[in-house]
A and B are shown apart, each in its own frame.
Chain A
């Protein structure tokens, strides 16, 4: 059950990253920083802005999108023709700078984000689960569903898919690649921020929280296959559950290794991700 909660947020992180990775060919090291941003926005909106919890989560989503769009326009758009390593390096720089700016702004002490749910667990048969966790899973699922709708059934989504499949052709068909990139990055960042806003209250908000999130998101992307939305969703859930079970059966010291080992196994036996269709070669 807890695996599902983790999995849901891993999936949110993974979807954002897989879109950015797949569509923009960008290794986004700063992805986790948008997750952190989401958590801190929620905290700020609650503690300083006096907004209620749901409003704060929504605010995190909006700010995440805005920050993502800004970052894409300012940092990435001018470097679009550069190699993948160059843009990766910019994102590394952004990651370091943002994390330390957060440290400067918020201090290193972890912030606890208050939430309106009861702390007493709900009982579902033998397992107890906190209402907050139920809320997190449901919201995560809703957001994943929304993303799905957006990608599959809107003009923007179609343009995104077209760009992913064949950038040149899409450009010839009148898709404005620049806009699509901005939108994709903003969208991915918003999902990361949402994950941060959701997990923030369960865990805590602190400047280096994004590092772990980035790592998990990368794992999810590989599990699911590059640019594969459904794959990222299922990959996220699998990773979450595998970590829970893994820690139960293996020594807990090796818990994080479970994810790594899964990745290596998947790459060995299903190199294009667990859920990729076989592609035409040649």
Chain B
């Protein structure tokens, strides 16, 4: 009985090896992915997963990495730092991945970081914005998302054109929201813009009327809004009900203007959004062909359009790791880490190249992503006047 089973297996294996395309016989290159796939921010985590899967399929269709297939090992961190640490441990020890992409929120990334150091495995950080991540002297960290300071710097050139004189802040009470207020506040003060109040809302809060009332009383002209798209929708609707007339600028790149148009309707009219990908104008992206292809592939898979502004990060993260493995010529974590310093490619967002950040001797890598501003005009996403003229 057992023997027959074994024979069958052997035959199957033999046939499989014969029939398989070149490269199939080799072990695949595994890449770990840690994202919040359940819990309150599941939507965003899943968009990134979808983007990562597109990158994987494209890579495999184009001859994989040196003939070896790419395989994603996806783990859910449930928006819980403990789970992020456990997932990193599992990916490194059980699946022996040479590199990880993750882990969305800064808390999750920070919790996973000691594991990277312990085992010596690099992680490409695709979303987290806390400045401290690359300042801690963890030489296994490579970030492709902009920390808030970088984002604020990116906006600096447009401040005058936006015509902001007195701004207030409304942000989600997380590392991201807090960090964002800090960074944008500093930048604006430097530019001589008056800064009014900074209000916070809990991640799960649905009613922001009280905060809006407070902001209304300051008499400013602009409101910076930092939170996930769901809360932005609610804030815009409630601001409209309160007849709060402000220029609104959302930061962080997760505002998904398309979804806002759909869900907030007229309340979203005229708002500005900092984004890192403009799927409405792929031709305006640094690599128009890649951007267009990504948008088309996304649509072909039936993924919702509004997920694109998040999903591209999954693609860029995986593409970065794959490039590093290619350069290293093997899927050894240390070799991949060394190769990450040499990576130079253009992702959906734009050029990805890592520069040293943090204490000397054990620097982390930080890329300088492209930053864009779009505006919702007449129920459509448009380039703001000051950018369109360029």
Contact = CB atoms under 8 A, between A and B. Distances in A.
Whether A and B touch directly in their complex, counting CB atoms under 8 A apart, is answered as yes
Interface of A: 2, 6, 100, 103, 107-110, 112, 119, 121, 128-130, 133, 199, 202-204, 206-209, 211-212, 243-248, 251-253, 255-256
B247 to A, nearest CB: 20
Interface stretch (B111-119, B155-163, B236-244, B289-297): B236-244
B204 A212 contact: yes
A26 B203 CA distance: 29
A204 B241 contact: no
12 contacts: A108-B38, A108-B45, A109-B307, A112-B263, A199-B206, A202-B237, A204-B234, A206-B43, A208-B42, A209-B206, A247-B210, A248-B213
Nearest to A206: B230
Interface in B31-81: 37-46
Contacts of B265: 119
B200 A119 contact: no
Interface string B257-280: 001001111110000000000000
Contacts of B307: 109
Nearest to A251: B200
Which one of A199, A209, A252, A255 has the greatest number of beta carbons of chain B within 10 Å? A252
A128 B241 contact: yes
B355 interface: no
A108 B306 CA distance: 13
A251 B214 CA distance: 10
Given A243-B210, A253-B200, A103 B234 contact: no
A62 B231 CA distance: 29
Interface size range of chain B in the complex: 35 or more
A256 B205 contact: yes
Contacts of B316: none
B199 interface: yes
A121 B241 contact: yes
B38 A103 contact: yes
B234 A203 contact: yes
Contacts, number: 98
Interface string B204-239: 111101110110000000000000011001100100
Nearest to A6: B207
A9 to B, nearest CB: 10
A244 B46 contact: no
B211 A208 contact: no
A252 B242 contact: no
B206 A212 contact: yes
Given A211-B204, A248-B214, A204 B209 contact: no
A252 B201 contact: yes
Given A128-B241, A130-B241, A244-B209, A252 B200 contact: yes
B211 A247 contact: yes
Nearest to A244: B210
Contacts of A212: 204-206
Interface of B: 37-46, 173, 199-202, 204-207, 209-211, 213-214, 229-230, 233-234, 237, 240-243, 259, 262-267, 304, 306-307
A204 B230 contact: yes
A28 B243 CA distance: 39
Contact of B210 (A107, A129, A130, A255): A255
B177 to A, nearest CB: 10
Contacts of A247: 210-211, 214
A129 B201 CA distance: 21
A3 B306 CA distance: 32
A90 to B, nearest CB: 21
B214 A128 contact: no
A208 B40 contact: yes
B306 A109 contact: yes
A204 B241 CA distance: 16
B243 A128 contact: yes
A255 B304 contact: no
Contacts of B45: 108
A8 to B, nearest CB: 12
Which one of A133, A244, A255 has the greatest number of beta carbons of chain B within 10 Å? A255
A109 B206 contact: no
Contact of A109 (B40, B43, B202, B234): B43
Given A6-B207, A130-B241, A252-B214, A108 B202 contact: no
Given A121-B241, A256-B202, A108 B42 contact: yes
B243 A121 contact: yes
Contacts of A246: 210
Nearest to A113: B263
Contacts of B205: 212, 255-256
Contacts of A208: 39-40, 42, 204
B43 A107 contact: yes
A122 to B, nearest CB: 10
B34 to A, nearest CB: 16
A252 B207 CA distance: 11
Ranked nearest first, the 5 interchain pairs of A and B with the lowest CB-CB distance are A108-B42, A247-B210, A108-B43, A112-B263, A109-B43
A228 B39 CA distance: 33
Contact of B262 (A100, A112, A121, A128): A112
